[in-house]
Structure 1
Amino acid sequence: MGTNVESSSQEDDRTWRQQVYEIVFEADTPAGVLFDVLLLAAIFLSVMVVMLESVESLRLQYGPLLVGAEWFFTVLFTVEYGVRIACARRPLRYIFSFYGIVDLLAILPTYLIALPISSIAETQRLTTIRALRLLRAFRIFKLAHMLSEANALRSAIWAARAKVAVFLSFVVISVVIVGSAMHLIEGGRLDESGQATPSGFDSIPESMYWAVVTMTTVGYGDVSPTTALGKALAACMMLLGYCMIIVPTGIVSAEFAQAAKRTVSARVCENCMAEGHERDARYCKYCGTML
């Protein structure tokens, strides 16, 4: 009799954990969709609070209200983090996963700010607090929990990694060559007295900075060539930048189109916490566990 009661209790506990798991980690059920929508609203509001707190006039006028809102969202995300750990089949795997670290960073800075740091100078403490407040804005990464398209984009970028690496290698080579050429052409400016004058191309790294800015079509204007040969090389660099800027877009877009053809569900494997499974999949494609 005692064995039957214990077995029934274990079955109820297993069922409870599975139900909570489906709501928290998946979005294929009405309850899961509702949970994601509420969490989405909480993330946006919490990030908005962090942004408003950075405005000095609003912080002085509504400081206690913003602090209260910040603690409300911190406690809310703490409860969510605890629930995810409680219902995960392998809690440590979730804790040290990318999303687990993001969830931890969403709540940790607020608790660290509240700690008294008497051994650190006041200016250093203010700098630390600013950095921790900045970390709270990274809660926006929690949105990836609810975006199934994020898996397709991540797969597309990973599939195109070799092509992107070749493209970046070409960009680096171009920047080094053009930067060295501009240092040779523009780096030896002399004034009327024969003294060297700063030109912005006084070293190869400085010239490479100009090449990167020019290739990306930003063109700050803080460094610019003055000689005819330098201007001609700059024009070639600008045209090369216009031609090259579309390459990574085309590569990733092609891979993304291929990834989009494979429809995936929002199911998360209980064993390895992996996502991106096809809708008709019965087993995890990474570890083989039944979904």
Structure 2
Amino acid sequence: MSHSLKPAGEGLRTRVFQIVFESDTPLAKGFDIALILAILASVGVVMLDSVPSYHAKYGWLFYRVEWVFTLAFTVELAVRLYTLERPLQYLKSFYGIIDVIAILPTWLMLLIPGAQSLVIVRVMRVLRIFRVLRLMQFVGEGRLLIGALKRSTHQIFLFLFTVFMLVTIFAALVYMIEPAEAGFTSIPIAVYWAIVTLTTVGYGDIVPVTPLGRAISTLVMLIGYSIIAVPTGVFSAEVIRSIRADRYSEEACPGCGHDRHEKRARYCLKCGTWLDETTPDPRESQGTGDE
């Protein structure tokens, strides 16, 4: 949780604040883990209630359980706001918005039929697990992946544009070749077929019936297999580049000019020259002392 959130005062509010917002004590960790289990259970209830046979048999039970979870989460949110010095600041934060969204659909169900299905967004609250289990060391890796994705955006966009051109060309060809009875009644329908074929999904709802159309289908499928690894390769290359940039220094060795050293390296891998020019080489100091 953000360190800008502060308890409303000393005493009970501070103790409760440490339980519901922190995870440094066994009691606080237990609270968060119990909360995550309740969130997962409530999402499971919603998913089971969407099954017609279960809804017909246990709908009344799911309805009551869902209200139990909603009331519990409403009380939990009220307790969080009670402990804060600035409750509105929390409501405007990411977790605050998620907490409100998690309980809002069930309350709206009283006014809007069908809103109960929206409680599936409650699963987003399990993002608290990053705080509970102290997994924040993965934030750096996440930023590395996001950075690599941003740097490869232009290449991926060019790839998608090329794929779109291929899809359009093959769709137009098949539209001219295949009869309307086969399902190719328009170019947009043919584009749909080309995308399904190129991605090797193959729904089978639209299938070419002429020999030439089937030959084009074979070509499209082979192209799909050959290009499916292109965006993965581009993204992987950027990830490797980011890892190397994060691990290796670009400063050249003053002795031989080699510039691929780990950031923690003190001596050149090639010639053994001391790399930190701002401080003296310890070996020289030892040699001067011995003399």
Name the TM-score, length of structure 1 as normaliser: 0.66
Deviations 1:13-43 (A, max 9, x none): 3354333333222223212210111101111
Q: Contact 1:175–1:212 at 8 Å: present in 2 too?
A: no
Q: Contact 1:109–1:136 at 8 Å: present in 2 too?
A: yes
Q: Contact 1:215–1:240 at 8 Å: present in 2 too?
A: no
AA matched with 1:90: R
Change (3 A) 1:55 1:184: closer
> Alpha-carbon deviation of 1:51?
1.7
Q: Contact 1:49–1:70 at 8 Å: present in 2 too?
A: yes
What is the 5 A alignment of 1:236-255? 236-245=223-232, 247-248=234-235
Structure 1 residue aligned with 2:27, among 28, 31, 38?
Answer: 31
Corresponding position: 1:221 with 2:177: no
Structure 1 residue aligned with 2:9, among 13, 32, 40?
Answer: 13
Partner Cα separation in structure 2 for residue 232 and residue 134 of structure 1: 43
What is the 5 A alignment of 1:1-291? 13-115=9-111, 129-130=113-114, 132-148=115-131, 149=135, 152=139, 154-189=142-177, 191=179, 199-200=183-184, 202-203=186-187, 205-224=188-207, 226-245=213-232, 247-248=234-235
> Alpha-carbon deviation of 1:244?
3.5
Q: Contact 1:186–1:201 at 8 Å: present in 2 too?
A: no
Deviations 1:149-204 (A, max 9, x none): 4762653453234135235413421232112211332121265xxxx55554832x
Between Structure 1 and Structure 2, whose CA radius of gyration is higher?
2
> Alpha-carbon deviation of 1:223?
3.9
Partner Cα separation in structure 1 for residue 216 and residue 196 of structure 2: 19
Secondary structure in structure 1 of the residue aligned to 2:130: coil
Name the TM-score, length of structure 2 as normaliser: 0.66
Partner Cα separation in structure 2 for residue 206 and residue 83 of structure 1: 55
Instruction: Give the number of aligned pairs.
Output: 231
Aligned to 2:279: none
Change (3 A) 1:67 1:183: closer
Q: Contact 1:217–1:242 at 8 Å: present in 2 too?
A: no
What's the C-alpha RMSD, in Å, of the aligned pairs? 3.4
> Alpha-carbon deviation of 1:136?
0.6
Partner Cα separation in structure 2 for residue 247 and residue 201 of structure 1: 37
Aligned to 2:254: none
Bigger Cα displacement from structure 2, 71-80 vs 240-249: 240-249
AA matched with 1:170: L
Fraction of identical pairs, as percent: 32
Bigger Cα displacement from structure 2, 50-59 vs 97-106: 50-59
AA matched with 1:188: M
Change (3 A) 1:81 1:212: farther
Change (3 A) 1:18 1:110: same
Partner Cα separation in structure 2 for residue 256 and residue 200 of structure 1: 48
> Alpha-carbon deviation of 1:233?
3.7
Q: Contact 1:215–1:241 at 8 Å: present in 2 too?
A: no
> Alpha-carbon deviation of 1:139?
0.8
Relative contact order (C-alpha < 8 Å, sep 6+): which is higher? Answer: 1
Q: Which contiguous aligned blocks of 4+ residues in structure 1 show a shift greater than 6 angstroms?
A: 252-259
